[in-house]
């Protein structure tokens, strides 16, 4: 198949490109490097089935090649420091960017795949979160540029599905980690690993009692590839329900990597979600999918991978 | 002042234009008539301080005149039959339309005023709804094209305020009624009045126990004009907290207008909000504003107004 992936130079996008190429597809990557890395494009540039377009997908997707089978929209700043630096660009890639992807899919009679997020649940009042939960999001908070952009992206994807008949998929990705995350990513796993690598103290925001579920990127990609083969249009959670408090997680990193590390506490960011854990019953039934990588294995793997670069 | 009003040919927009002209301002109306009426433009065309641009504000606002003091963004299909006929256009006028208004304000160093809605509260689990309530909205339901567009519009308005320093205002309008609503508007007051005018039965969806608060348009416009003079950037509810069940309301219309009318029940639309009532404490404190028009007076007024056309 011929598959266009927006956000191909990002963390998740680059793993998706790698897997699609491995499966023998032709992949067109599109990225403007607002939060991605050129090295993630260079990885594939010599591959015979890969081509790349540098473009801001919010302004349009300048693809003029042969008919596409899929448009997969993964472009978006995804970590708080990135989207808070670029709130307007983040809002735009959720609205105009998603719509440009949907229009491209429409023209090519291709299917459309949206990477949404567990952030659409906001600070959830239901635990764990099934796909039917409507969420608890502050529309005007400092995180709203990301959360509301993704809720909008889901709404417009459903509108194109219902009104224009586009064959769509929506996944809600829960916290994911793995190689090729940016060191300044700001998400808790990356922070801890990089702090550990530099022998610094591990920073916990708040008292560390807020929980996170961490999914290893290979598991996410497996879920994505499976969903491409299943005809289901409403959102599907992809995440690891194995729950840790941020403090437990810091202790895991400390114990696995360097027992000498100190853990320090800092004050919490506005609207920081307190608990987040996916109900993955739907993905299990529909995709016969379940995350396989244990946190301990994922962290060691990631640590070794980063150390080796 | 020189004030550009998008959605000037709509119900609320036309009342706003009328009031601003009365106060001696110069008004530029912009509308594409997707849910508006040409007659609402014709009302003002002979006015020396009014000019009109026919344009889709989602594509851009082609204004090239003298410096603006305000951009007031009231364009959007607002009633369920309209936005469900045009879900993609509704999403766009909330995203691209709002952003084009903000950019125009930025260029002119003008202030920006957003008409948001009580629909951002969705099917509220808190009653009445203060501005601090985050809402309960289904991001993928058939109403989400409107609700999520408005939540996005609020988020991008706050982003331009915070990042680009635009002087912004946001109001959350609760159900409003009055002259110049379209007969096919689909909102409950209009339905009842037009059914009454035609001697038809009054249709109640569900068992009629869902509540609505109805605000007369003159009260809304008064609140808007007051807010223009106050420097406050977070959302403000404007609505009438006087709560009726839809059934009580049907009975009010029946008693006031024609006691012979029958009331019939039909099944409820998906995600129809069950209860909605503004907490207007903030508007009362900040604007010294309170709605003045009693429902009974408003309904008689509206009925007579429509009957006379
Ligand atoms: N990693 C996670 O834990 C996680 C969780 C939930 C959702 N997601 C979603 O998955 C997707 C990928 O996230 P990620 O972690 O790989 O983030 P990332 O920042 O590493 O990758 C995003 C990529 O999109 C690109 N991009 C952003 N805006 C663009 C635009 N307008 N035009 C072209 N390219 C643009 C960036 O340059 C970057 O390469 C995002 O949509 C994100 O919201 C990720
Ligand atoms: N009337 C209410 O009870 C109510 C309640 C909550 C919020 N609001 C908000 O108030 C505003 C006005 O609502 P209304 O009741 O007057 O609705 P309306 O449909 O009568 O007016 C909206 C106007 O906007 C115009 N418009 C829509 N999309 C446009 C576009 N892309 N370019 C140019 N013009 C466009 C329409 O043609 C119409 O004239 C809307 O933003 C609505 O969401 C109204």
This model of the complex carries an ipTM of 0.93
Ligand nearest to the CA of A121: 1
CB contact under 8 A, A91 and B134: no
CA distance A244 to A38: 33
Write down the pLDDT at residue B194. 85
Q: Where are the domains of chain B?
A: 2-174+217-240+278-287, 188-210+243-276+295-307
* Of A212 and B104, the one with more pLDDT: B104
The pTM assigned to this predicted structure is: 0.94
Q: CA-CA distance, A124 to A131, in Å (whole number)?
A: 12
For atom 21 of ligand 2, which residue has the closest CA?
Answer: B10
Asked whether the beta carbons of residue A155 and residue B135 sit closer than 8 angstroms, the reply is no
Residue with tokens 């608890």: A136
Average pLDDT, integer, range B230-255: 92
Segment A154-210, tens digit of pLDDT: 999 999 999 999 999 999 999 898 888 887 777 788 888 888 888 899 999 899 988
pLDDT for the residue B184 = 76
Which residue minimizes the CA distance to atom 33 of ligand 1? A31
Residues of B in contact with A100 (CB under 8 A): none
Q: Report the separation in Å between the CA atom of A168 and the middle of ligand 1, taken as the mean of its atom positions.
A: 19
- DSSP structure string for chain B: -EEEEETTTSHHHHHHHHHHHHTT-EEEEEE--SS--HHHHHTTTT-TTEEEEE--TTT-----SSPPSEEEE--S--SHHHHHHSHHHHHHIIIIIHHHHHHHHHHHT-EEEEEEEGGGGBS-SSSSB-TT---B--TTSTTHHHHHHHHHHHHHHHHHHHHH---EEEEEE--EE-TT--TT--SHHHHHHHHHHTTPPEEEETTS-SEEE-EEHHHHHHHHHHHHTS---S-EEES---EEEHHHHHHHHHHHH-TT--EEEEPPPTT--S---B--HHHHHHH-------HHHHHHHHHHHHHT-
Question: Which residues, given as ranges, of chain A have pLDDT below 50?
Answer: none
Give the active site residues of A. Answer: 146
Q: Which two tokens stand for residue B79?
A: 């009633």
The pair of three-digit structure tokens given for residue A134, joined into one six-digit string? 């409507």
Q: Among the atoms of ligand 2, which is closest to the Cα of residue B59?
A: 31
Write down the catalytic residue from B26, B121, B146, B216.
Answer: B146
Q: How far is the CA of B299 from the centre of ligand 2 (A)?
A: 21
Judge: A149–B135 Cβ closer than 8 Å, yes or no: no
CATH 3.40.50.720 fits domain B2-174+217-240+278-287: yes
If we measure between CA atoms, which residue out of A213, A235, A218, A219 comes closest to residue A286?
Answer: A235
The answer to whether residue B33 is catalytic is no
Question: How many residues would you count in chain A?
Answer: 309
Residue A134 distance to chain B (closest CA, Å): 5
pLDDT value of position A200? 92
Predicted pLDDT of residue A95: 98
Residues 6+ apart with CB under 8 A from A183: A190, A194
Instruction: Give the whole-angstrom CA distance, residue B134 versus residue A168.
Output: 28
B188-210+243-276+295-307 shares the fold of B2-174+217-240+278-287 = no
Q: Per-residue pLDDT tens for B142-183?
A: 999 999 999 999 999 999 999 999 999 999 999 898 888 887
Q: How confident is the model at residue B36 (pLDDT cuts 50, 70, 90)?
A: very high
User: Residue A120: which of B120, B139, B152 has the nearest Cβ?
Assistant: B139
Say which residue the tokens 């989602």 belong to: B58
CB A102 within 8 A of CB A166: yes
Mean pLDDT over B135-140 rounds to 97
Enumerate residues lining ligand 1, CB below 6 A: A 6-7, 9-13, 30-36, 56-58, 74-78, 82, 93, 97, 115, 117, 173, 175-176
Pick the CATH number of A188-210+243-276+295-307 from 3.30.450.20, 3.30.565.10, 3.90.25.10, 3.40.440.10: 3.90.25.10
pLDDT digits (tens, 9 = 90+) for A259-283: 999 999 998 766 566 667 899 999 9
Res. B69: pLDDT tops 90: yes
Pick the residue of B155, B156, B157, B160 with the most A CBs within 10 A to test the interface with A by mutation. Answer: B155
Which of B135, B152, B163 is the closest to A87 by Cβ? B163
Please give the mean pLDDT across all residues of chain B.
93
Interface test with B, best of A87, A156, A172, A271 (most B CBs within 10 A): A156
């Amino acid at each position: 198949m011929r598959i266009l992936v927006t956000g191909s130079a990002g963390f998740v996008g680059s793993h998706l490109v790698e897997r699609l190429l491995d499966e023998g597809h032709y992949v067109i990557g599109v990225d403007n490097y607002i939060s991605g890395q050129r090295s993630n494009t260079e990885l594939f540039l010599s591959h015979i089935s890969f081509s790349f377009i540098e473009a801001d997908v919010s302004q349009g997707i300048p693809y003029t090649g042969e008919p596409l089978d899929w448009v997969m929209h993964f472009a978006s700043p995804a970590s708080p420091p990135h989207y808070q630096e670029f709130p307007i660009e983040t809002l735009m890639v959720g609205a105009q960017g998603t719509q440009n992807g949907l229009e491209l899919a429409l023209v090519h009679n291709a299917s459309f795949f949206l990477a949404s997020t567990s952030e659409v649940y906001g600070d959830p009042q239901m635990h764990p979160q099934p796909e039917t939960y409507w969420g608890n999001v502050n529309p005007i908070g400092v995180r709203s540029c990301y959360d509301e952009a993704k809720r909008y992206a889901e709404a417009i994807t459903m509108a194109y599905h219902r009104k224009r008949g586009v064959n769509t998929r929506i996944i809600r990705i829960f916290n994911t980690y793995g190689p090729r995350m940016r060191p300044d990513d700001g998400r808790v796993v990356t922070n801890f690993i990089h702090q550990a690598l530099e022998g610094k103290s591990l920073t916990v925001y708040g008292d560390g009692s807020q929980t996170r579920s961490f999914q290893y990127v290979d598991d996410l990609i497996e879920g994505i590839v499976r969903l491409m083969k299943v005809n289901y249009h409403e959102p599907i959670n992809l995440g690891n329900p194995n729950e840790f408090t941020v403090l437990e997680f810091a202790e895991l990193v400390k114990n696995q990597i360097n027992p000498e590390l100190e853990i320090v506490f800092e004050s919490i960011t506005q609207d920081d979600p307190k608990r987040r854990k996916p109900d993955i019953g739907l993905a299990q039934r529909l995709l016969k999918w379940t995350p396989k990588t244990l946190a301990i294995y994922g962290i060691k793997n990631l640590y070794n991978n980063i150390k080796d670069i």
